[in-house]
Structure 1
């Protein structure tokens, strides 16, 4: 008799076929799941990389902005120092011209006394005129601003923009990179401002320093404008005084020549 008694010759074949089908379907399911999981991980890594690149670009952008602000600050300081020096010279010129005009008044009295025997009585009746005094030098707002700005950066190495500048190959000794590196190397040692603008503390810190730098630039610009206006007014006062002094001296020289018969 063929095969085992009471057994179905097709039963094992059906079981084998069923098992083979299930095994293939299980393998495909596992492959699909692994592929989906791998795709999700790849997408996540891609997003993380894009975020890191964006943060690096933001950091580099704020570093460049800080460097520009620092350069503008140095130009402003140099201009302010020059204007302060020019203001001191104008103060000296105005004081000297006022003194010269006062001296010409005194010398004119002596000339009048020489020309007239009644000069002494005339001067007695005319009384003592109030002497012209030079305007007191006003405290320079620009000098105060300059002192305030330079006081915060007595040591140039302490300026944040200079700390951000390093060679192209790495991070300087203070922990500021010329290029955007790891987050740990980009974060400044010490506390940051409480306000948070981004997820990167280094960018937040740079933004705070940019805000402080722009405030100083605005303050310097206003002080420079005030000083220029003040010096223009001073020049307008000095020129007539110089013209008057020159005219008086020339007139008194002519009078003395007549007295001496020249």
Structure 2
């Protein structure tokens, strides 16, 4: 006996695209293309967030490294100035010894009253100023940014919001990469600038030690 009181039963279909499809609870759980897209966006946002955290940590390490290089370069400059003053004193001693052994009246050597200022040369592109001017687009607040699961009520608006966050995140990553590249180049130039300074300090120290040994009658090592 037909279920339809008018004597006709319409056939049901299992295809979701059929007009006579009979819906069930399991069909509602079927993942729609929108849901799959939102889930993919969620994974991309999480990956971008992780990359930003790694980039921020790297920038902090580069800033600390630059500060150390600045201190070393400052110290090399100060040592070089002290060696210049020391060379003047050695020259005065040599002149005094020469006058004493030749039994000539010792000439008073006026000490150098004018002491060269012990200060570092003007540095260009300090890490602190460099990063402070370029770190703003990638401020640490981004590390605390959390990406919420997509809302099922308004998938289209959530899709647009995710796209905006992905675009902003990629822009920040690009800015971070630019800052890192510039900072690495600046530090490499600084290391190249420090190499001859270090060599001069070492050579001057060796020369002055030999001069002092000669004045004191100590045989210099070969």
TM tier, shorter chain? 0.7 to 0.9
Aligned position for 1:92: 71
Q: What is the CA-CA distance between 1:34 and the residue it aligns to? A: 10
- 2:213 counterpart of 1:244: no
Compute the RMSD of aligned alpha carbons.
3.7
Superposed counterparts of 1:38-187, under 5 Å: 39-40=18-19, 42=21, 53-117=32-96, 120=109, 133-136=120-123, 138-140=125-127, 141-153=130-142, 156=144, 159=145, 162=146, 164=147, 176-177=148-149, 183-184=152-153
Gaps of 5+ in 2: 1-5, 97-106
Structure 2 length-normalised TM: 0.72
Contact 1:66/1:209 (8 A) holds in 2: yes
Gaps of 5+ in 1: 1-26, 165-175, 188-198
Structure 1 length-normalised TM: 0.62
Secondary structure class of the residue paired with 1:135? coil
Q: What is the CA-CA distance between 1:149 and the residue it aligns to? A: 2.1
Secondary structure class of the residue paired with 1:86? helix
Change in Cα spacing, 1:43 to 1:146, as seen in structure 2 (3 Å) is farther
Q: What is the CA-CA distance between 1:150 and the residue it aligns to? A: 2.6
| 1: CA distance, partners of 2:10 / 2:156 | 37
Query: Runs ≥4 in structure 1, deviation > 4 angstroms?
Result: 30-35, 48-52, 117-121, 127-133
Aligned position for 1:211: 167
Secondary structure class of the residue paired with 1:42? coil
Secondary structure class of the residue paired with 2:142? coil
Q: Answer with 1 or 2: which has the greater Rg.
A: 1
| 2: CA distance, partners of 1:202 / 1:93 | 52
| 1: CA distance, partners of 2:108 / 2:183 | 46
